[in-house]
Structure formats: C-alpha cells, structure tokens
C-alpha cells in the first residue's frame, strides 16, 4: 500500500471527487461571467463578443486538461506529490497561491458589492451594508474544501434551473441577427476585449485547489471536461441572447443576468417573477466569491502547517472588508489597473502553474506499507 500521508497539513475535509469538480465547472464557474463580463465584451467586441469569450474557453480548457493530466498516474493527490518532491519548499507554492487568490478576488468582490447595492436596495445603503458578506465568507473560509464540492452538487439545481428559466423568458424576445455580420469587428478589438476580460476567466486556476486534492479515477477526465464544456456552452449562449436583446446598448447593461428577462411580456401581468431566479443565481455568485477567499485561507494554513483557520479567516475577511470600503468608489481606476496593466499576472500564473504541477507527475511512489 502506498504511503499517502502528505508532508504538510491537509485533512480529509479537503478531499474532492471528479463529479464535484465537473459540477463546479458546469454550474459555479459560469455565474462569475454573467455579471460584468457581458457588458465589457460588448463594449469592445460588439456583435463579435462570442469570439474573445470562445478564445478564453479554449485557453482555459487546455490549461484545465494539463492540470487533469498532471493529477493522473498516482494514488496520491497532486498536492501530496508536490509536497513529496519539494518537502517544506512546497510552502512557497502555497503562499504564492494564497497571494494569487486574494488578488483574483479583488474585482469580484467589488463587482458583487456594486451589484447587490443596485439590485437589492431601493434606497442608498450604508457603507457597512456589505459587511454581512464577510461574516458569511469568514464562516466558509474555516471549512474544508469539501464544502466547495458539496455546494457544486447543490448548484446543479440552484444554477441550472434559474439560468434556463431566465433564458426561456428572454430567448423569444431575442433578435440574433444583431450578432451579424460574423467577424464584423476588427480582430484587434476582439483581442482587446479578450485582454480586458482576462480577470473574469481564470477557470483552470479556480479548479486547481479541487484538482490538487482529489485522487484520479478512470473516466474522471472526460467527465470533468464535459462539465467544463457544458458551462462554456451555457455562457456562450447567454452572451448571444444578451447581445441579441440589447444590441447597441449592451455595453451599458451592467449586471447582465439581472436584466436579461426584463422584456418578458408576462412580467406585466405577474410582476417580477424573474427576481426569484435572479436571487438563486446570486446565491451561486456568493458561493463563487466566497470560495476564492476560502482557497486563499486554505493555502495559507497549509503553508504554515496549521488546521486552525479562525484567525487567518478573520484577518483576511476583515482586511478585504476594509479594502471594499475604501475602493468601492474607485472601481473604475482599479479595474483599469488590473485589466489594463496587470492582466499579465493572470496569464503568467495560468500558464506556468499547470506546467509546474506536471513536474511531480513522474515522481516515484513510496511503496512502503
């Protein structure tokens, strides 16, 4: 029997399964792309907004496949093999991942705050109204990564049914000819849209903590890639409906999934029944944002070799609460900085980490009982 005990801290509460990773790819990842990304894509790529989105999915799909390949060929998890290869040097990787996930959470946090204030408050909210999110996040950050997988199981219904309901309300009001002519936008503009939306498409790295803590089984790779393909297709179809509805004003339609069903004729009789589905998708979006912070907490605790997450979770969430409180009025400047000047961080990390995790793939197994 192989000795699967890792060198650093990890618990059974971090172990995940192929089905859960597939569901995360299919039903949690798309939620992060239904808020601000559609209007940004429409702003720079117009009717060709599907082109940069498709390029993102092809790139991220290739990176995801590399990570899944790295996780094969052993009864140890990817992180266990990494720790066997580097020993305590794996701490450097974990601290690096901690920094990356905190950085990658900055814009989603501000996006979520802006959306919540616009969608759920009839009057101007107080500066501390969003603080409840960080209480929820601090609680989630103290849990193992199994909670991500279990949430993905729930999101099979929590995301899919509301998403399909909103599209069903919208599709018959959509004029898909607004997407024509195909490739009518300059290629340079499409690539600029690709660059500006890079922070919204870090799919492979979002799945890395789950892939690093699961033990590969036969058939998992097709299952997970199928899940990612489903999530990609749903997002692309949403983008097509979004632009088909709003056309030339799509760039001004922020918080896309909360507005896509507004032309449904029955709403004049029944009232805003679409809000039920919007609330459900908002819960999925909350999961996504909390999980970025949970990943950061998990990697930090793994790096310092502790199971006690209370203090790291409290410090992280309080610090990010202060960040949101200070930068909520400076969103445009921060977005311009991250997507315009620091976008290469997402590309560099996304490209290098899958290659790095391929290194321990052929590491010899410890066959001691």
Supply the DSSP string of 181-197, one letter for each residue: STT-S-HHHHHHHHHHT
Query: How confident is residue 54, by pLDDT bands cut at 50, 70 and 90?
Result: very high
What is the CATH T-level fold of the domain 17-362, as seen in this structure? Amino acid/polyamine transporter I (1.20.1740)
Poorest-pLDDT segment among 46-60, 83-97, 261-275: 261-275
Angle at 103 between CA 100 and CA 104, to 5 degrees: 85
Q: Exposed (0-12), middle (13-18) or buried (19+): which is 216, by Cβ within 10 Å?
A: buried
Nearest to 363 by CA among 90, 94, 84, 3: 84
- Contact call for residues 216 and 74 (beta carbons, < 8 A): yes
- pLDDT by residue (tens digit) across 134-183? 999 999 999 988 889 889 989 989 999 999 999 999 998 899 999 988 88
How far does CA 107 lie from the centroid of its chain? 12
Which of 113-127, 298-312, 334-348 is predicted least confidently? 113-127
Q: How much of the chain, in percent, has pLDDT values that exceed 70?
A: 93
């Amino acid at each position: 029997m192989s000795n699967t005990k890792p060198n650093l801290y990890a618990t059974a509460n971090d172990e995940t399964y192929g089905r859960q990773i597939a569901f995360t790819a299919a039903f949690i990842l798309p939620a992060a792309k239904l808020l601000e990304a559609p209007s940004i894509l429409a702003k720079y790529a117009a009717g060709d907004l599907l082109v940069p989105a498709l390029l993102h999915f092809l790139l991220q799909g290739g990176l995801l496949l590399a990570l899944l390949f790295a996780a094969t060929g052993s009864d140890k998890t990817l992180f266990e093999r990494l720790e066997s290869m580097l020993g305590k040097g794996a701490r450097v990787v974990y601290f690096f991942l901690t920094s990356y996930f905190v950085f990658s959470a900055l814009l989603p946090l501000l996006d979520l705050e802006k959306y919540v204030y616009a969608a759920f408050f009839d009057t101007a909210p107080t500066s501390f109204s969003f603080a409840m999110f960080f209480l929820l996040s601090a609680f989630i950050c103290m849990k193992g990564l199994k909670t991500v997988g279990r949430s993905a199981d729930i999101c099979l219904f929590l995301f899919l049914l509301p998403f399909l309901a909103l599209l069903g309300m919208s599709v018959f009001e959509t004029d898909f000819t607004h997407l024509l002519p195909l490739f009518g936008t300059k290629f340079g503009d499409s690539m600029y849209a690709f660059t500006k939306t890079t922070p919204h498409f870090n799919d492979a790295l979002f799945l890395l903590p789950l892939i690093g803590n699961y033990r590969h089984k036969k058939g998992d790779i097709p299952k997970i890639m199928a899940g990612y393909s489903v999530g990609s297709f749903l997002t692309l179809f949403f983008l097509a409906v979004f632009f088909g509805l709003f056309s030339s004003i799509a760039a001004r339609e922020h918080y896309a999934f909360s507005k896509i069903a507004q032309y449904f004729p029955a709403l004049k009789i029944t009232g805003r029944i679409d809000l039920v589905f919007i609330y459900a998708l908002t819960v999925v979006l909350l999961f996504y944002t909390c999980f970025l912070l949970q990943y950061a907490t998990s990697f930090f605790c793994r790096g310092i070799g502790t199971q006690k997450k209370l203090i790291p979770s409290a410090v992280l969430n309080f610090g990010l609460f202060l960040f949101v409180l200070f930068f909520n009025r400076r969103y445009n400047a921060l977005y311009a900085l991250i997507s315009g000047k620091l976008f290469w961080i997402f590309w560099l990390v996304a490209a290098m980490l899958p290659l790095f995790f391929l290194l321990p793939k052929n590491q010899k197994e410890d066959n001691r009982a």
